[in-house]
Amino acid sequence: MDLGLSTYFNSETVDKFFRIIFILIAGVGSIQLISFMVKRSLRKQLSRQRMMLISRTIVYTGYIGLVLIVIRELNYDLTALFGAAGVVGIVIGVASQTSIGNIISGLFLVGEKSFELGDVVKIGDKSGTVYSIDLLSIKVKTFDNLLIRIPNQAVISTELTNITKFPVRRLDFLIGVAYKEDLRKVKTVLENVARNNPLCLEEPEPVIIFQTFGESSITITLGVWFEKANYLSVRNSVFIEIKEAFDREGIEIPFPHISVYAGEASKPISVKLMED
Amino acid sequence: MNPQSFWKSWHFKVNQTCIFRAGYAEVCIKHIQNGWLVRSRTTEQSTDELLIEEIDDLKDDSDVLHFHTGFSDELIVVPALPDKAVVFKNNKNIKISAGESASLYFKIPLTMQFYFQEVKDENRLVEIPLHRLSDTWFGEIDSGEPAYSIGSYYDKSFSEVEATSWEAISSVEIINNTVGVLELQRLILRVEDFYLYLKNSQLLTSHVRIEFKGQEQAGSVNLGVWKDIHGEKPVLVAKPRSSDTKNLLRRSFFFIKNIYQN
C-alpha cells in the first residue's frame, strides 16, 4: 500500500531537515555566544539593569531573526506573512491592550531610571528588593522572601519610593517625654546619644525637633543620618541607647494617660469608699 | 614600651598566651598546635602606652576566633592607618589668603593588625582600631563618600603636637592657588593612600601637600616626606592600603550648604 511517504521522506526533505537543525543549533549557539561576549565586555561599564536589557534585546532579536530564517528555509513566502502582519498587528493590538500598555510602561520606567535592580523600593504597602525588571512587570523580593509581581502599568501610575537610591539616609525616632521634664536636658541627652553612636554620621548632623504638645507627652523627633547599609544596626542601637540614657537621667517616657480634675487644677479629687 | 619593641615580629611557644594593649583595644593571642586563638575587644579606658603582658591561658569562649594556620610560630604586629579617609571639621574659622599656604598637624588613631608568618592580606588574623572614630559623610548627601571624623582639633606646629604612642601625626600643607580667600570648612585626608613612618619613637604619615584650585576644580594632592619632620632617612613601617600613585588629582575640600534649606 502506498501511503505517499515518499513525498515527504525523500533526499530533498531530509536534506532540508538536517539543514534546519544545523541552522537552529548554530543560531542558538551564536545568539548565546554574542550575548555572553557583550555582557562580559560591558560588565564593568554598565549597571546590572542595563546589562540585562542589552542581553535580552540581543537574545529576542536573535531568536526572531532565527525564526524568520527557518521560515524562509521552509520556503514559506515571507512577503505574504509581512503583508498579513498589518492585519494581525491590529488584531493583536486590540486583544492585548493591557500587555502592550505594560510593555510601553516598562520602557518608560527603564528610561526614567527611578530605580534599578537591587534597589529597595516601596510601592503602595509592599516593599522589597527589585529582583528583575521584565517586559510586562517588575518582580520584587520581599524581606520575608516572597516574590511579588507588579505590572509595569501599576508601577508607573503609583507612587514609588526608592529607599536605597542615595548612599545615606536619615532615620527619625519619635520620642514622647513627660511634661514635667526639662526639655533642654532632654535635648542634650539625645545629642549625646547620637554623638556617641559611631554609626550615626557626624555629618550631616543629627537633628532634634520638638514636634507637638501631645495629649500625654511632648513629642520630639530625633533624626540621625547613617549609611544605608547600616539601617538595622543604627535603628536597634539608637533605640536601646535612648532608653538607657533616659533611664540613667531619670527622664520619663509616659504611657498614654488622662488626668481628671473637677475644675480646680491643683486639688485632687477625693475618693471615699462607701460600704453598705 | 618603645614602639620598635611593640610593632615587630614575635615568636610564640606552643600554648604561650599574650595580651597586647594599645589605645582602646585589647587583643589576646594564644599559640596552639598548628594555629592561633584570638580574642579582641574594645575597652572603656584607653592606655597611653603600648603594653604586652604574658598570661597563663586564654579561655576558649564564644568570642574567641580559631585560626588553623600550620606550623608557623611567628606573629607579626603592625600598625596601620584607618581603612577609610578621615575628615577634619574646622570650627575655628581658618582662612588662607590668595597665594598663601598654611601647615596643619593632625593626630590620627591607628589600627593594630596581627599577621602570622608574613604581612599579607591572606595571613591577617585580626585588625582592630585603637580608637573607633565616628562615621561621617564627606560631600553632598546624594554623591559624597563615607569617611571617619577626626573632629576639630589640630596643631599649628609640629613641636606642639602631643600624640600618644598609638596615634600617627599627619602634617598637611594647604596652598591656596586661587585669587580669593580659602575658608577651610571640611578637609578630607585619604589616609588609605598614606605611608607610615617611624622617627624617634613617633609614627608619622606621609607629608601631604594640597593645592586648592577653586571650588569647582579638583585640586592636586602630593604625598611625600618632609625632611624637617621625617628626617633624612625615615623608617618605613607600613605601606598604603591602596596602590594609587603619589600625585593625586581629586577633591579635598567640601563647603557646607545647609541641607535643610535650598
What whole-number distance in Å separates Cα of residue B132 and Cα of residue B60?
26
* pLDDT score of A111: 80
* Chain B residues near residue A167 by CB distance under 8 angstroms: 137, 141-144, 146
- pTM, 2 dp: 0.77
What is the pLDDT at residue B262?
A: 39
Residue A227, chain B, CB below 8 Å: the answer is: yes
Closest residue of chain B to A207, computed from CA coordinates: B260
List the single residue in B with minimal CA-CA distance to A170: B141
B135 and A199 in contact by Cβ < 8 A?
Answer: yes
For residue A202, list chain B residues with Cβ-Cβ distance below 8 A: 89, 134-136, 149
A168 touching B, CB under 8 A? yes
Residue of B nearest to A230 (CA): B135
The pLDDT tens digits for A27-66 are 999 999 998 888 888 877 777 777 777 888 888 889 989 9
The DSSP string of A186-236 is HHHHHHHHHHH-TTS-SSSPPEEEEEEE-SSSEEEEEEEEEEGGGHHHHHH
Q: State how far residue A153 is from chain B, nearest Cα, in angstroms.
A: 28
User: Residues 117..146 of B with a Cβ closer than 8 Å to A: which?
Assistant: 132-138, 141-144, 146
Tell whether A4 lies on the interface with B, counting CB pairs under 8 A.
Answer: no
Q: At B33, phi and psi to the nearest 5?
A: -60, 120
| Mean pLDDT of chain A, nearest integer | 86
- Compute the distance between CA of residue A131 and CA of residue A119 in angstroms, rounded to an integer: 9
- Smallest CA–CA distance, residue B117 to chain A, in Å, is 33
This complex has an ipTM of 0.82
Q: What is the mean pLDDT of residues A203-215?
A: 93
Q: Tell me: the pLDDT tens digits for A249-258?
A: 999 998 877 7
Mean pLDDT of A12-26: 87
Low-confidence ranges of chain B (pLDDT < 70): 218, 243-250, 255-262
The whole-angstrom distance between B134's CA and the closest CA on chain A is 4
Task: Say whether B89 and A166 touch across the interface (CB within 8 A).
Answer: no
Q: What is the pLDDT of residue B80?
A: 95
- Is a pLDDT exceeding 70 seen at residue A3? no
* C-alpha cell at position A148: 511579588
Answer whether B20's CB lies under 8 Å from B126's CB.
Answer: no
Residue B170 β-bridge partners? B106
> Which residue in B134, B143, B144 is closest to A202 by CB distance?
B134
pLDDT, residue B247, reads 53
Work out the average pLDDT over A202-208: 94
Interchain CB distance below 8 Å, B141 and A204: yes
CA A41, A46, A50, A54: dihedral to nearest 10 degrees? -20
Is A227's CB within 8 Å of B135's CB?
A: yes
Judging contacts by C-beta atoms under 8 Å, the chain A residues touching residue B146 are 167, 227
Residue B99 touches chain A, beta carbons under 8 Å:
no
Please compute the mean of the pLDDT values over residues A212-233 and round it to a whole number: 93
Residue of B142, B144, B149 with shortest CB distance to A202: B149
Q: Which of A168, A199, A207 sits opposite B141 (nearest CB)?
A: A168
Contacts of A186 (CB under 8 A, 6+ apart): A177, A220, A251
User: For residues A255 and A214, is the Cβ–Cβ distance under 8 A?
Assistant: no
**Cα–Cα–Cα angle for A135, A141, A143, nearest 5°?**
165
Using CB atoms, pick whichever of B135, B146, B259 lies closest to residue A198.
B135
CB A200 within 8 A of CB B146: no
Residue A115 CA to residue A120 CA, distance in Å, equals 8
- pLDDT tens digit string along B208-227? 999 888 877 767 888 888 88
**pLDDT for res B245:** 56
| Touching B: A residues 112-151, CB under 8 Å | none
> How many Cβ atoms from other residues are within 10 Å of residue B92's Cβ?
9
Query: In the predicted model, what is the mean pLDDT of residues A185-209?
Result: 95
Provide the Cα torsion B104, B105, B111, B113; round to 10°: 110
Closest residue, chain A, to B131 (C-alpha): A198
Minimal Cα–Cα distance from B247 to chain A, Å?
25
Q: How far is A203 from chain B (nearest CA, A)?
A: 5
Q: Do A203 and B149 touch (CB under 8 A)?
A: yes
Question: Do B137 and A200 make contact, defined as CB atoms within 8 angstroms?
Answer: no
Mean pLDDT of A130-144: 90
- B-chain residues near A204 (CB < 8 A): 137, 141, 259
Q: Looking at the partner chain, which of B137, B149, B260 has a beta carbon nearest the beta carbon of A225?
A: B137
CA distance B240 to A3: 84
